[in-house]
Amino acid sequence: MLDPISIGLAFTAAQAAVSHIKQAIALGKDINGLVGQFSKFFESADAIHKASIQDKIRGKHLGKTDAELGHLALQRAMHSDALREAERELKDMIIWQLGKPQIWEQMLKERVRLIKERSAAEKLAEEEALAHKKKMAKQAMFAMYFIGFAIFAFCVIMGGVQVYGITEEKRVYEQKVAQRNALIYRQAKEREALAKKELDDYTK
C-alpha cells in the first residue's frame, strides 16, 4: 500500500521516465534501448492507480475531513490526467515520429497479459492465505475441543475418584461398626452364658 508520499514519488518517477523517453527519441536513439524507461512509467502509473482502488476497497478514506478528501481527490485527478496525457504523448511519438504503431500495439497487448498474470498470481496468493487462515482456525478449534474434552474427562475422573473414596470410607466405617457390634454381641453372649453357668453351679 502506497502512502501519499510514496504516491508523489511514483508520480515523479513516471514524469522522469516520460521526460527521458522524449529526449531519447528527439536525439534519434533506438526505441529498443528505452524498454526500461517505458517499464518505469507504466509501473509508476499502475502503482498510483492500484493504490487508489485499494484505498476504496479497504476504507482508507474513513475518518478523513472534507478538506483532506478534497485535497486527495484533486491530487488524484491531477495525477491521473497528467499520466493519461503523458501516455497519449508517448503513443503519438511512437506512432507518428518513429512510424512504428505495431510496437505500441504489441506493448499494450504484452502489458495487458502481464497485468492479467499479476492479478491471477495475487488472487491465488489471497486464496492460499485464506485457505491457510481457515486451516489454522480449524486447528485452533480442534485444539479447543480437545482441551475442553480433556478438562471434562479429568473432572469426571476426579469426581469418580472422589465418589469412590467416599464410598470406600463409608464401607470401611460400616464394616468396623458391624465388627464392633458383633464383638459386643459376642461378649454379651459370653457374659450371659457365664452368668447362667454360675447360677447353675450355685443351685446344685
Q: How far apart are CA 19 and CA 183, in angstroms?
A: 118
pLDDT by position in tens, the chain (length 204): 556 677 778 888 888 888 888 888 888 777 777 778 888 888 887 777 676 555 554 445 555 676 766 777 777 778 878 888 888 888 888 888 778 888 888 888 887 887 788 888 888 988 898 888 888 888 888 888 889 888 988 888 888 788 878 888 888 888 888 888 888 888 877 777 777 776 666 666
Residue 40 resides in a domain = yes
Q: What is the pLDDT of residue 64?
A: 63
Say if residue 22 is exposed, middle or buried (CB neighbours under 10 Å; 0-12, 13-18, 19+). middle
Q: Which three cell numbers stand for residue 14?
A: 513516471
Flag whether 14 is in a domain: yes
Task: Evaluate whether residue 25 is within a structural domain.
Answer: yes
Does a structural domain hold residue 163?
A: no
| Count of domains forming the chain | 1
Find how far residue 201's CA is from the centre of its chain: 102
The verdict on pTM exceeding 0.85 is no
190 domain-assigned: no
- Which residue, 160, 38, 140, is CA-closest to 89? 38
Contacts of range 70-73, beta carbons closer than 8 Å, 24 or more positions apart: 72/4
Q: Which domain holds residue 30?
A: 4-99
Identify the DSSP state of 98.
S
Does residue 168 lie within any of the structural domains? no
In a domain, 141, yes or no: no
CB 45 within 8 A of CB 14: yes
- Residue 59's pLDDT is 47
32 within domain boundaries:
yes
